[in-house]
Structure 1
């Protein structure tokens, strides 16, 4: 891999337009990437090889793994596609009635879950032989879907107008919870805690909220929000959207990426920032830790928050993670004598 000058190593053959997501496999160091250039790509990070590239009929807005040799992607062309990288085959699982913004695969139920700007959540059984038979449910949402995340049997959906909808995917007859975002501005990214107790939610106004599923008073007392990805110059705050959140699979700490070009690592339990990486060339559009937490994929890709302008090329950096960057520091207590 080419050295990225302190940012990590550069992936070869990157997307040619805005990167919308990067995700490591749960089984290897394979990385799936979606982008506005209309393609979904699979990289073998360990050897820095592009293993496959499949096209949609429009910008690819999200992607995830189905298993280590196949992926899922959704697009502004309204389709949900499955890609068999091992055999270089691609097929359409189903369609929405508008651009499809988010896709998740539930290992708990074996379903593909997709959220669209047509204001619906749709569930698909990828094992069924025809598109009609694959549809297992269509559920109306209050607004367009902006971000989704699944952990265990829970699915969290963040929509336009700051709505949050939470489903127990074992019983889709109605949402488990409906609420407004605790953040005052548009939601940008939602990611569930690896331990299944709640989720982190970011906004365009440089804030992250830490939320919990359990509605008991004891658990709700733990939730909080904090400011991040801000710059103060001569007493004036410049605030940047928080585009990405990624949890470390071992320690449960998490990284955030913003339009300021920085990636920060946070200890949510102790409410501390653990580390700030060197500034990347442009906005951080997406982040993903590898399955063992040794690597962090960083998509440095301008997100057009300042409109059309000359900007650095879209790049994916793979950073080796040191334990001190992500491991929570022990609490210190004063000794009373």
Structure 2
């Protein structure tokens, strides 16, 4: 069985994103309290326990973050519109602005294979930085067909889920070639964003989501052959890029609970309570994936056999973010108060904000054979 423990010194407000570094020796956590918390393993060889190493102070609430090429480089975006890089190896935690969106920037990803930083903003623009050119400040701006909600990469593709059920898949190598053509275009001041051309680029693939309502998260399969998306209506869709596998695409219901409620006529009736699926994460060794919902539940699924592998007991608050360590042995869980109960006007309880590490037993995340 897996073992869970909570990290000491969690953020003071809701968690927006978290991610293990490539080496899995560090964990970065973004929060609405305008900080990024960096945790490090207490013992690199034996322990999976983490302790707080430092906190990066930011100008505005952080909406997303991603590790760069090493354990000292982080890219992050937030409500201040900026796409920033922080050097954790510098004594003053030096921050560099790579670019900025005309509206808040909500998602950021990094391609280790190509050295690209991609970010999206509520301005419906995709920013692509080639870190090999001008420290990543050379900028390619791409117009998106809709407001972006989620972003994930494979070694070759970028998947962007947007409003109106739109999904665009871009070829990363093609984007890199365009950044090299615009290598002399840099961001030197806040005044020149309007001078950077916005390109209209035809995506490698254009899709209509199999989910009927707003997409909340997207995650790509470890082998790069497809992706999963989740929505606010308690559904997950699994899709493949290859046209020959299109027939295998499917969607399923999850993170729903049945409760008894009193109807207007005084009788009891069963009501299906639907929760948003806030987080998705694939386990690289096994190819299964985890979902985290507004119901505080985490479940593991086998994308190939369409079966649920495991479901864990309900946590004390909504699951906001998930990430597996590179070896698949640990799952980091960001827990924060949500508004799934309809109490938007009630001040959230900071004591419910937690970062949990789930140490998985051998084969706990392994898929199940089809019946």
Same fold (TM > 0.5): yes
Matched, 1:108 2:113: yes
Distance in 2, matches of 1:321 and 1:180, equals: 35
1:101–1:115 Cα contact (<8 Å) kept: yes
Distance in 2, matches of 1:194 and 1:253, equals: 9
Matched, 1:22 2:22: no
Distance in 2, matches of 1:35 and 1:44, equals: 17
1:7–1:280 Cα contact (<8 Å) kept: no
Deviation at 1:126, TM superposition (A): 3.2
Distance in 1, matches of 2:72 and 2:115, equals: 16
Distance in 1, matches of 2:60 and 2:137, equals: 23
Matched, 1:257 2:253: no
Q: 1:40 to 1:129 in 2, by over 3 A?
A: same
Distance in 2, matches of 1:36 and 1:230, equals: 27
TM superposition score normalised by structure 2: 0.83
Which residue in the other structure is 1:285 paired with?
320
2:144 to 138, 141, 144: 141
Structure 1 unaligned blocks of 5 or more: 1-5, 333-337
Which residue in the other structure is 1:308 paired with?
345
Q: Deviations over 1:30-75 (max 9, x none)?
A: 1111111111221114453222322222110000100212111101
Structure 2 unaligned blocks of 5 or more: 43-48, 176-200, 261-269
Deviation at 1:294, TM superposition (A): 1.0
Which residue in the other structure is 2:265 paired with?
none
Deviation at 1:127, TM superposition (A): 4.3
Deviation at 1:180, TM superposition (A): 2.0
Which residue in the other structure is 1:3 paired with?
none
Q: Which moved more, 1:304-313 or 1:92-101?
A: 304-313
Root-mean-square deviation (CA, aligned residues, Å) is 1.7
Distance in 2, matches of 1:73 and 1:260, equals: 27
1:265–1:325 Cα contact (<8 Å) kept: no
TM superposition score normalised by structure 1: 0.91
Q: Deviations over 1:52-99 (max 9, x none)?
A: 322222110000100212111101101011111122322212111110
2:239 to 208, 211, 224: 211
1:126–1:134 Cα contact (<8 Å) kept: yes
1:168 to 152, 167, 171: 171
Which residue in the other structure is 1:231 paired with?
257
Distance in 2, matches of 1:269 and 1:245, equals: 16
Distance in 2, matches of 1:184 and 1:45, equals: 41
Distance in 2, matches of 1:293 and 1:54, equals: 27
Matched residue SS, 2:164: helix
Q: 1:24 to 1:13 in 2, by over 3 A?
A: same
